[in-house]
Chains A and B, each alone.
Chain A
């Protein structure tokens, strides 16, 4: 037993290792996006990043918001057009392991209406930056 926070480096305690890997992903939701009633639109990107068993830390950025957000799942609302009237819809962005060494970024739009939903706020680009690290168990 010791007081671990009294030491800058202490080999008696497990720690977290960066495996030095990082990568960027991006998807574009076009201004022309059109989602049939009750269906889900999705667009995704997959990249290789990190070693087997590594975990990710993701930061997400949207060209409509211009701030980086910490998270593997980010949701927000946008305004579109349904039946000629303004209609809000939700965008969900996920950044998650696709396989042991790949990561997938996906943007989902679910049309909650029974008529076609079209985008009204212009093209939106969504970026994610992913760093990987190894837990103390690896």
Chain B
């Protein structure tokens, strides 16, 4: 039985979002604005953030994504950099405006419980959409969630075998000095060297390659889904 063909499968957990918040921030041209939010959780959540330039969120960008700069190779590829990081107390949203004009960024943040934690968490369904379950949609089914060992060896590789036979959806976070960072920017060199860390996905495994410039021991949290 292929669980991908079902909206929900009792063989695999769905994502349980244990933290949600939203807001907006206005940033003047060529400036940045960090937003610090106490999360009130007894653990450090794995957060991810999305943003939009309109409160309707019709066009919604993932963190470290969005409209591309005129010269995207000069510094950041994007007009607006966003990203979230979390520690035991706070979630910090880092926003940078690489454009000359002031901009208002509308952000939405949500988080998961790390695989190393099994704590109580306040319910979040009431702040989500009208239907937590809607059979019009397919729900991401978690195949595996885990965390790699700590290492301070640059370019070191961790391989997680999933043996699904296809490339699954993956989410990942890096943790360094007890701060967890959401990740989706990849910088790599095909000759095998690497200056930014990379996450490779193939039909049987996920390969995490650490950053070349690594100042502290780091480990990676990951979530691998049955869904392609």
B97, chain A: closest CB distance, angstroms:
17
Task: Assess the B200–A69 pair: CB atoms within 8 A.
Answer: yes
Task: Assess the A135–B60 pair: CB atoms within 8 A.
Answer: yes
Interchain CA distance A95-B172 in the complex, whole Å:
18
Q: Does A99 contact B (CB under 8 A)?
A: yes
Tell me how many residues of B have a C-beta within 8 Å of chain A.
72
- Secondary structure type dominating chain B contacts: loop
Task: Assess the A74–B118 pair: CB atoms within 8 A.
Answer: no
Q: Does B202 contact A (CB under 8 A)?
A: yes
Please give me the 5 A-B residue pairs with the lowest Cβ-Cβ distance, nearest first: A14-B128, A71-B186, A4-B16, A17-B137, A110-B73
Q: A55-B50, A62-B190, A136-B110 are in contact. Are A68 and B201 (CB under 8 A)?
A: yes
User: Cβ of B123: which chain A residues have Cβ within 8 Å of it?
Assistant: 1-2, 12-13
Given A69-B186, A131-B228, 6 other A-B residues pairs in contact with their CB atoms under 8 A: A18-B137, A55-B61, A59-B167, A69-B198, A70-B184, A71-B186
User: Cβ of B57: which chain A residues have Cβ within 8 Å of it?
Assistant: 53, 137-138
Q: Does B119 contact A (CB under 8 A)?
A: yes
Q: Which of B25-33, B62-70, B86-94, B156-164 contacts A (4 or more CB under 8 A)?
A: B62-70
Tell me how many residues of A have a C-beta within 8 Å of chain B.
63
Task: Assess the A3–B118 pair: CB atoms within 8 A.
Answer: yes
Q: Does B22 contact A (CB under 8 A)?
A: yes
Chain B residue nearest to A91 in the complex (CB): B73
Per-residue interface assignment for chain A, residues 33 to 63, with 1 indicating a CB less than 8 Å from any chain B CB and 0 otherwise: 0000000100000000000111111011010
Across chains A and B, the number of contacting residue pairs, with CB separation under 8 Å, is: 215
Task: Assess the B186–A74 pair: CB atoms within 8 A.
Answer: yes
Q: Does B108 contact A (CB under 8 A)?
A: yes
Task: Assess the A56–B137 pair: CB atoms within 8 A.
Answer: no
Task: Assess the B129–A138 pair: CB atoms within 8 A.
Answer: yes
Chain B residue nearest to A8 in the complex (CB): B13
Per-residue interface assignment for chain A, residues 63 to 80, with 1 indicating a CB less than 8 Å from any chain B CB and 0 otherwise: 011011111111111000
Task: Assess the B139–A17 pair: CB atoms within 8 A.
Answer: yes
User: Cβ of A52: which chain B residues have Cβ within 8 Å of it?
Assistant: 58
Task: Assess the A59–B186 pair: CB atoms within 8 A.
Answer: no
Task: Assess the A99–B72 pair: CB atoms within 8 A.
Answer: no
Task: Assess the B60–A97 pair: CB atoms within 8 A.
Answer: yes
